[in-house]
Amino acid sequence: MLYEPTTLASATALLSTSLRAEYGIDPAAIFSEAGLPVAPSQSPQARYPLAKMRVLWALAREASGDEAIGLKTGLYARPQHFYALGYSWMASSTLLGALQRLTRYIHVVSTARTDVTLAETKDSYVLSSAFPDPAMQPPQEGTDCGLTAVLSLCDIVAEKKIRPIRAELLRPVPAHPEAYREAICAQIRFGAEIGTLHFDKAELLAPLPHGTPDIAKATDRIAEQYIEALDPNKVASRVRRLLIDLLPSGKASQETVSQRLNCSTSTLQRQLQSEGLSYRDVLESTQRSMAETYLRDKKHSHAQIAYLLGFSDQSNFSRAFKRWTNSTPRQFQAAQAQV
């Protein structure tokens, strides 16, 4: 990810539409003051700095006089606004699969450090979001926009209204909480430490009318490559590319990787630490990503996957996968039949 967080430029198209349609405001002066073009970018991959987006949201809120402008803006979201993530979302076989893709490819939308997870409970699936670095947290309007954008995208692919059972929001109680209740149509608790949306399990597992697994997998790869390309010079990215080649040989030690990068082990450690990572972090994230890809494709046995990931045997691979995902490789493959 880039050192200066960025967001997809398509977010500005949503805001421009919202300002005109909801408030009758010409967005040109607002965008000009924020230093951003009001005309939509011709490239679906165009990105703007998060710092400028903060300014733009603040100006839009001031001009509209509406603290819920983000909620209203997110309702205009369409899959095509989110590049590869949006097309992968449209091709998902279930809403569970769509939300899983959101957790994997959230950095297509924003490179700010965001922890987005999807957990299963007895009766529901819980989509959670947290921002480990408060300085990099999106503006409240951007967070609100993301909230209703997710719900809008769910409505589009399900071809019916999808709303959570309940929600916990990070923001304090707003001056007009009814705007949030109307948008979310669920019980809401404000001031939560982690933002969550609790979805009915049956709704998320129901087949979607236009699910196309082959297209979903193809756009998944585009999303993965796009995220990687956002910062091809980042040390972690270079290490990850080397590991993909080295893991099947069983010679993917930190010393070997350091030699391939023409630096000492201590230098590599310092470089990764400057990016908030350790060698083990990069190794395990690479192994996990590769494992999930192999398991989804079902072209290799579990023993072969263990070998391709550099494990000494299948049992060590299974234990590691259970630790990473809280499910066994077989459980993961069974769940993918629903994605």
Edge-to-edge strand order for the sheet containing 166-168? 115-120, 124-130, 195-200, 166-168, 187-189
How sure is the predictor about 338, in pLDDT bands with cuts at 50, 70 and 90?
A: low
What's the rounded Cα separation, in Å, for the pair 83 and 43? 10
CATH classification code of 6-205: 3.90.1520.10
Question: What tens digit of pLDDT does each residue of 280-332 get?
Answer: 988 998 999 899 889 988 899 999 999 999 999 999 999 999 998 888 999 98
Query: What residue spans in the chain does CATH classification 3.90.1520.10 cover?
Result: 6-205
Give me the pLDDT at residue 232, please.
62
Burial 129-144 (b: 16+ CB within 10 A, else e): bbbeeeeebbbbbbbb
Task: Indicate whether 85 pLDDT > 60.
Answer: yes
Percent of the residues in the chain that have a pLDDT greater than 70, as a whole number: 97
Residue 44 to residue 55: CA distance in whole angstroms: 22
Q: Round the average pLDDT of the chain to a whole number and report it.
A: 91
pLDDT tens-digit series, residues 96-153: 999 999 999 999 999 888 889 999 998 899 999 988 877 677 889 999 999 999 999 9
How does DSSP assign 232-297, residue by residue?
TT-HHHHHHHHHHHHGGGT---HHHHHHHTTS-HHHHHHHHHHTT--HHHHHHHHHHHHHHHHHHH
**pLDDT confidence of residue 1:** 40
Q: pLDDT digits over 32-70, tens only?
A: 999 999 887 778 888 988 889 999 999 999 999 999 999
* Predicted model pTM: 0.73
**Residue ranges of the chain assigned to CATH 1.10.10.60:** 232-336
What b/e sequence results for 275-309 when a residue is b if at least 16 CB atoms lie within 10 Å of its CB, and e otherwise? bebebeebbeebbbebbbebbbeeeeebeebbbbb
> Can you read off the two tokens belonging to residue 38?
């009001």
* Dihedral, 248, 232, 57, 138 alpha carbons, nearest 10: 40
CATH class held by domain 232-336: mainly alpha
Q: Which residue has the higher pLDDT, 274 or 293?
A: 293
